[in-house]
Structure 1
Amino acid sequence: MNRPDATLRRAARVLLVDASSRVLMLRGHDPARPDQRYWFTVGGGLDDGETPAQGAVRELFEETGLRVSAEALGRPVFHEAVEFPFDGAWYRQEQDFFLLRIDSWEVDFAGHKALERATVDAYRWWTVDELRGSEERYYPAALPDLIARLLREETPC
């Protein structure tokens, strides 16, 4: 879309996948449109001087309570540029996605910042089929295909 008024932003996201091949999604809303809820992957904007991996592990800890090293993430598995409105402003966000496999995790929202406490209200572990069959809004839209591809690539032939 490339809106000239968009604020440029770098972000990192984590595709946290459990032993049952489910991806963790958080549910939230835009403060300017509280009636429109959507699901999204863990992650967010990078702080000054952070690498994508450093930002991803910081966001993972803040949003879920799970602490891992930046090295545990490896290299990004997906990159996208998206434009979206949030709280009355328009953003163009370049974001890297990292895959992290875990056995299980009990999500803890204690590390949420004020904006997250006000806008994030739930979490859920989703299978690829559940995402594909859902009528709920989630981002990125290509997530089911991305997770399916990543899981296939991990499986030896």
Structure 2
Amino acid sequence: MQVERRARRAGRVLLVNASDRVLLFRGSDPTAPDVNYWFTPGGGLDDGETTAQAAARELYEETGLAVPVEKLGPAVHSEVALFSFDGVAYRQEQDFYLVRVPQWRVDTGGFDEVERRWVHAHDWWSVPELRETGEMIYPADLVAVLTGAGVGPC
């Protein structure tokens, strides 16, 4: 069986509250539903979007928080992620934007059908908690990305 391969670009958000905790979603893959992992809000670009526009749109859809694109500022981290989801192998170029809020009550009412089915929870994580956890976190170097962006203890 040949695996479909897909290249895409994405905009992601490091949503950080006043306690220096970052919002992560917990999800799984339809091909491995018992394997859970944590990841930042964000997703692929729609036609004609920049990564900042996608990050702002996805942040609103996934959390209910509306942030104007011009308030995102420059990307604080860029990387290429290789991953599989639902039998498709992705090569995803992604930019991360830092958004700070005093606090936020996450509203997942904007989730699409795939998100409603495969995103199971969300939580706010501190840098020390991320350092100590045995859970799968994406990106794998999230602690370094956050501390490089001035989040949490160095």
Instruction: Mark yes or no: TM-score above 0.5.
Output: yes
Task: Give the corresponding residue for 1:49.
Answer: 48
Task: Give the corresponding residue for 1:108.
Answer: 107
Distance 2:129 2:61 in 1: 26
Distance 1:11 1:89 in 2: 16
The share of aligned pairs that are identical, in percent, is 54
Task: Give the corresponding residue for 2:97.
Answer: 98
Distance 1:145 1:50 in 2: 27
- Provide Cα deviations, 1:83-110, integer angstroms capped at 9, x if missing partner: 1111011110000000011100000110
After superposition, where does 1:4-153 map in structure 2 within 5 Å? 6-151=5-150
Distance 2:149 2:74 in 1: 13
- Provide Cα deviations, 1:110-138, integer angstroms capped at 9, x if missing partner: 00000000000100000000001000111
- Provide Cα deviations, 1:43-91, integer angstroms capped at 9, x if missing partner: 0000000011110010000100101100110110100001111101111
SS in 2 for 1:100: strand
> Which amino acid in structure 2 is aligned with residue 140 of structure 1?
P
Closer/same/farther in 2, CA of residues 87 and 132 from structure 1, 3 Å limit: same
Distance 1:141 1:131 in 2: 10
Closer/same/farther in 2, CA of residues 5 and 121 from structure 1, 3 Å limit: closer
Structure 2: stretches of 5+ with no match in the other structure: none
Cα displacement (A) at 1:149: 2.0
Task: Give the corresponding residue for 1:155.
Answer: none
Aligned residues: 149
Aligned alpha-carbon RMSD (Å): 1.2
Contact 2:4–2:87 at 8 Å: present in 1 too? no
